[in-house]
Structure 1
């Protein structure tokens, strides 16, 4: 028996909330423990990779996308109805906002503090295309290989690597991007930087779908889960 839409939306909300709480919270903790930016990024990336494995493994039987780009890809691949996708994306966005607020509160910051860190420029935008392209290729490739058990580890591996390999530090997720505007901390992004980030993430997702259609021209099997 397939999980109900309510159950799937709840899983997406809770999962995205815990993902964002980890991304933001580990960033705050890192900056309080060290002034070395490289160590801060290392701590942030490892915490993000670890929580992705934990959340995807535990929530995968219900729903574990935590990412509107992945959910939209499922619609394009006709494995998810548009109406269901709307509910899941709303849950992801709401969950992300909750996660950012929780992180702020845990570290005795204002519950909402609008981020002031601008992340802009052609290089950074290109980084977001690459980060999202890689993420979607990992998710779709594992699903195509009928290896849903590999998705948590593959997604975490890509995200940790992309934190370091891309100029944008791999947001690769519109829900997480929007949520990170609510914390003026290490992981924050100014609201003015968000539109181009989301556009580049959608572009990266579209390119990934095109590449997968070339690699696997036959109809895809349903996606099992994803990320970051």
Structure 2
């Protein structure tokens, strides 16, 4: 089934909004209920995000591809899975949807809608963690969609659930998510001054994965 450009863009925007509502909302809820235990708050944030990703990809994947992520969109273009003209429209919609999702989470929890994060996430280690996180995310998408496409949603959700815990940055792995989370002074926020390094690292990780898995997944032409 083919969907119009308008429907694809609405799917990307709505999916991004719901994803950020989950990320920010579960972070706020986790922090409120954890009684100061950061590990418990992070666990709640992790499980909600991973589960939501699976559902959102199942919901919107058949319509738009369920990227919700400019780095994933870039890789899709480089692999000729998405035309440039459509790809240029995806990131603004992803970012706008993500910001709306942040504001929706603030509204649900009775917080000021407009915020700016003060949570610094600086340093080379965290930037490198974002390279690793995004590399793994794109690798999961490319590898699983090639051999077990019906399992892609589950693979992405499970990978992000794991990456929240094994990366020093808690695996943002998404430039749109990073920009939106800079607008929330909550558990899941990131200070605007920390965002550029994260975003650069995310694109680097995505491009590395695209290059390596483009080679790995290419069928051999010699016996």
Q: What's the TM-score bracket when you normalise by the shorter of the two chains?
A: over 0.9
Partner of 2:174: 173
The superposition leaves residues 90-144 of structure 1 with CA deviations (integer Å, 9 ceiling, x where unpaired) of 1101000000000111111110110001101111011000000000000011222
Provide the residue aligned with 1:139 in structure 2. 141
How far apart are 1:213 and its partner, in Å? 2.0
Deviation at 1:88, TM superposition (A): 1.2
Q: Secondary structure at the match of 2:80?
A: coil
Deviation per CA, 1:41-100: give whole Å up to 9, x if none.
100000000100111111111021111111110110111111101111111010000000
Residue of structure 2 in register with 1:67 after alignment: 69
Q: CA deviation at 1:190?
A: 0.6
Distance 2:57 2:149 in 1: 10
1:214 correspondence with 2:215: yes
What are the ranges of 5 or more consecutive residues in structure 1 without an aligned counterpart? 220-228
**For residue 222 of structure 1, what is the aligned residue in structure 2?**
none
Deviation (angstroms), 1:218: 4.8
**Which residue in the other structure is 1:5 paired with?**
5
Aligned length: 218
Which residue in the other structure is 1:128 paired with? 130
Tell me the CA shift for residue 203 of structure 1: 0.3
Paired position in structure 2 for 1:224: none
Q: Provide the aligned C-alpha RMSD in A.
A: 1.1
Tell me, in whole angstroms, the C-alpha distance in 2 between the residues paired with 1:193 and 1:55.
28
- 1:203, 1:157 → 2: CA distance? 22
**Residue 94 (1) aligns with residue 96 (2):** yes
Q: Which residue of 1 aligns with 2:27?
A: 27
- Structure 2 alignment gaps of length 5 or more: none
8 A contact 2:143–2:217 mirrored in 1:
no
Which of structures 1 and 2 has the larger relative contact order (alpha carbons within 8 angstroms, sep 6+)?
1
The runs of at least 4 aligned residues of structure 1 exceeding 2 Å deviation read none
**SS in structure 2 opposite 1:182?**
coil
TM-score computed with the length of structure 2 as normaliser: 0.95
The answer to whether the 8 Å contact 2:137/2:160 transfers is yes
Aligned counterparts of 2:182 and 2:160: Cα–Cα separation in 1: 20
1:191-202 pair list within 5 angstroms:
191-202=192-203
User: Which residue matches 1:225?
Assistant: none
